[in-house]
Amino acid sequence: MSIIINKSPDVLSSEITPKSVYLDRRKFMQQSIAASLLLSADAMLPAWAKNTAKWQSLQKSPLSTSDTVNSLEDITSYNNFYEFGTGKEDPHKNATAFNPHPWSITVEGECSKTGVYDLEDFIKPDALEERIYRLRCVEGWSMVIPWVGFSLADMLKKFEPNSKAKYVEFTTLLDKSRMPGQQRRVLHWPYVEGLRIDEAMNELPIMALGLYGDVLPNQNGAPIRLVVPWKYGFKSIKSIVKIRFSETQPVTTWNRTAPAEYGFYSNVNPTVDHPRWSQKKERVIGQPFWKPKRETQMFNGYSDQVAHLYRGMDLRENF
């Protein structure tokens, strides 16, 4: 697993980044600013995180589900974010002091535009939209979340991945002082996830910056996280600080921790049981206990958009 060097929030990226990488980044910024979907002078507004009034009138994505959305309370008080504790209510309680600003993302590996990018470089308000997706957790529950985000594929293309970029790896911040759950060795830290490049370039995955028309609450992965709606929730990594294009399949946290239970692909698949429980049904968070469980759908309902990605693969073997 790669090692990341944490950056103090007070240190300028120009001070800690190798000069060549930093200059490269400046060049990229200058060249692409006019044409870029994600980069714009507007995006450099320092108060973006507080200026979300315009997020209320976001474009509604046609890729959204029409299922009933969960309440903000459900979405922000029943979480998995082991960096803030292993209990469902821990992230809500333990992440309040976490300050996700300033934030930068390092881009590495098989692409032309490697470098360290400030979060503002990723944000162009016009590219943001609301996408409502059901998050199906591997533990057998689900909820429906109105995310605010933008296309992962559009973002990745800006970095110009080369022909060796067969996979994309994502890494969460490693900082025991700011993420107290990392003081316990419950997982291999930092949390790492990955996608095959064609999965990442599909139209469905988004990078989310918010939900319910506002910035992401800390417990949901502030300031930026992945959302991959046809895979179990653990693929949707939170608080991302690194993106790496690689030729080989990334070593992901859950696959490394329990390879017999959590595969690299982790597609929602009701016909492949978890070794310790069935995946045929799911408990819908927020529904009264007496309501029947929901039948889990293949690829979480997105077969039309993603089944072709796995043609010829045995999804029992590649679970």
Residues lying near ligand MTE in the complex (CB under 6 A): 79-83, 135, 137, 172, 191, 220-221, 233-234, 236-239
Nearest Cα to Cα of residue 79 among 71, 88, 70, 87: 88
Q: CB of 231: closest distance to ligand MTE in angstroms?
A: 10
Cis status, amide bond into 223, omega within 30 of 0: yes
In this structure, the strands spanning 206-211 and 214-215 are antiparallel
Residues 6+ apart with CB under 8 A from 30: none
Q: CB of 165: closest distance to ligand MTE in angstroms?
A: 23
Q: How many other β-carbons are positioned within 10 Å of the β-carbon of residue 294? A: 16
Nearer to ligand MTE by Cβ, of 116 and 173: the residue is 173
d(CA 263, CA 274): 10
Q: CB of 19: closest distance to ligand MTE in angstroms?
A: 31
Nearer to ligand MTE by Cβ, of 239 and 279: the residue is 239
Q: CB of 139: closest distance to ligand MTE in angstroms?
A: 7
Q: CB of 70: closest distance to ligand MTE in angstroms?
A: 9
Residue indicated by tokens 């039948």: 295
Nearer to ligand MTE by Cβ, of 79 and 279: the residue is 79
Nearer to ligand MTE by Cβ, of 25 and 225: the residue is 225
Q: Do 239 and 172 contact (CB within 8 A), yes or no?
A: yes
Signed CA dihedral, 150, 136, 318, 258: sign only: positive
Nearer to ligand MTE by Cβ, of 43 and 168: the residue is 168
Residues 6+ apart with CB under 8 A from 10: none
Nearer to ligand MTE by Cβ, of 208 and 306: the residue is 208
Q: CB of 88: closest distance to ligand MTE in angstroms?
A: 9
Nearer to ligand MTE by Cβ, of 249 and 257: the residue is 257
Q: How far is CA 94 from CA 72, 86, 145, 241, in A?
A: 18, 11, 22, 20
Catalogue the long-range contacts made by 42-49 (C-beta closer than 8 Å, 24 or more residues apart): 42/124, 42/125, 43/120, 43/121, 43/122, 43/123, 43/124, 43/125, 44/120, 45/120, 46/120, 48/120, 48/123, 48/125, 49/101, 49/215, 49/223
Q: CB of 256: closest distance to ligand MTE in angstroms?
A: 14
Q: CB of 164: closest distance to ligand MTE in angstroms?
A: 27
Q: Do 251 and 1 contact (CB within 8 A), yes or no?
A: yes
Residue whose Cβ sits closest to ligand MTE: 233
Nearer to ligand MTE by Cβ, of 16 and 187: the residue is 187
